[in-house]
Chain A
């Protein structure tokens, strides 16, 4: 693969790679190190990368594997990124009028962030890949080096766990809604 081609494909992934790296590490410096190392490894390996295969999944796989071997990857649970300074993302209002939709529409953004943060690292990771990066199960299986059946069951359990946390954080509303 041509280096120029790599630049064209890999550079647009920068923001999402950084976002995931920050989610995983919980620290700006560590996230930067992780992203930089990911690009270094990708640059080193891109010649062996087969054109036509999924570069995006490949890059995320490198990021994730690099994270696993990093210090913060080993201490994945001990994170704290609860600052609320760049919370400019607005929840899009639900168009359905079901009680659950209403409940989640009014859910505080911070509550969702907190809930996600409180999840075990492997749950948080798979939810981010599925819901934020919108990877297919097949791609997630590739990134996490898991059988697709494990991806399905882990993702289900992760979402279930997240819902439990969100319910617990808003018991009154949840009870009213249900």
Chain B
């Protein structure tokens, strides 16, 4: 049987490079042509024998690790970058938290000073510099001593009475401390100019706060900041704070 089949086509057939149509036609031919069948058979054998070339050489474990590290290396630095970024972020948060904590803790400190001023005045043999139950006497006394003026509320008809006043300093700022009595309770009203520093040290608007055994209320009126502190009932402290605020608005 004459066969003009190209041997290269048989190689391509076994390499799976013929189109399905070509492959089917060639399969048919191989079934009829002993020469091509023998050729294909040998080529199949050759393919099989070449499997010996697969994985003939295997890399050492040491070299494998080296390449793994080489590929993983940029990822390590990426990981390191992430780690550093995370640390940096944590550090920033820590700083912010510290600042916030210090700001926060600053406030009790200032409140402690206020409480000290109050308690100190009461413990003193001369709790007030100006002894007067008359608000019209107390107020002028502060003139030229402090760089601001304030109004003392009308106490007639209330249970509060004025004991007197004295000059105080908080955060290097001069202020007025008025001492009121309510039955057996003494209540201090501290009045300052609302500078940025003081406003920061003594934030207002938080309502009644408990500090040690005292009730404290901090509030604003005009450019003034008032701190009302005493061992009286929270409602009474609040009531006095309201009266002070109203008088100065």
Contacts and interface: CB of A to CB of B under 8 A. Distances in A.
Interface of A: 3-4, 6-7, 10-11, 14-15, 18-19, 21-23, 28, 31-32, 35-36, 39-40, 43, 81, 86-87, 89, 91-92, 94, 96, 98-101, 103-105, 107, 109, 112-113, 116, 127-128, 130-132, 136-137, 152-153, 155-156, 159-160, 162-163, 166
Interface residues on B, range: 35 or more
Contacts of B3: none
Contacts, number: 144
A136 B68 CA distance: 28
Contact of B17 (A7, A35, A94, A137): A137
Q: Which of B44, B53, B74 has the most CB of A within 10 A?
A: B53
B41 A96 contact: yes
- The dominant DSSP class at the B interface is helix
Contacts of A19: 53-58
Interface of B: 7-8, 11-12, 15-17, 37-38, 41-60, 63-64, 66-68, 70-72, 74-75, 78
Given A104-B48, A112-B52, A137-B17, A22 B42 contact: no
B56 A86 contact: yes
A40 B58 contact: no
29 contacts: A3-B75, A7-B71, A7-B72, A7-B75, A18-B59, A19-B57, A19-B58, A31-B59, A35-B59, A43-B74, A87-B52, A89-B52, A91-B52, A92-B48, A98-B41, A100-B38, A100-B45, A101-B41, A101-B44, A105-B48, A112-B50, A113-B53, A116-B53, A127-B53, A131-B47, A131-B51, A136-B17, A156-B7, A163-B42
A112 to B, nearest CB: 5
Nearest to A136: B17
Nearest to B17: A137
Contact of A103 (B45, B52, B71): B45
A160 B70 CA distance: 41
Q: Which of B12, B37, B63, B66 has the most CB of A within 10 A?
A: B63
Given A152-B8, A163-B42, A11 B49 contact: no
A21 B53 CA distance: 12
Given A92-B48, A105-B45, A131-B47, A156 B8 contact: yes
A15 B60 CA distance: 10
Contact of A159 (B46, B48, B55, B68): B46
B15 A104 contact: no
B15 A137 contact: yes
Contacts of A103: 42, 45
Nearest to A115: B49
A42 B142 CA distance: 84
Contacts of A130: 15
Q: Which 10 A-B pairs have the closest CB atoms?
A: A104-B45, A22-B57, A100-B42, A98-B41, A156-B8, A18-B59, A131-B50, A109-B52, A100-B41, A112-B49
B22 to A, nearest CB: 13
Given A152-B8, A155-B11, A32 B63 contact: yes
B72 to A, nearest CB: 7
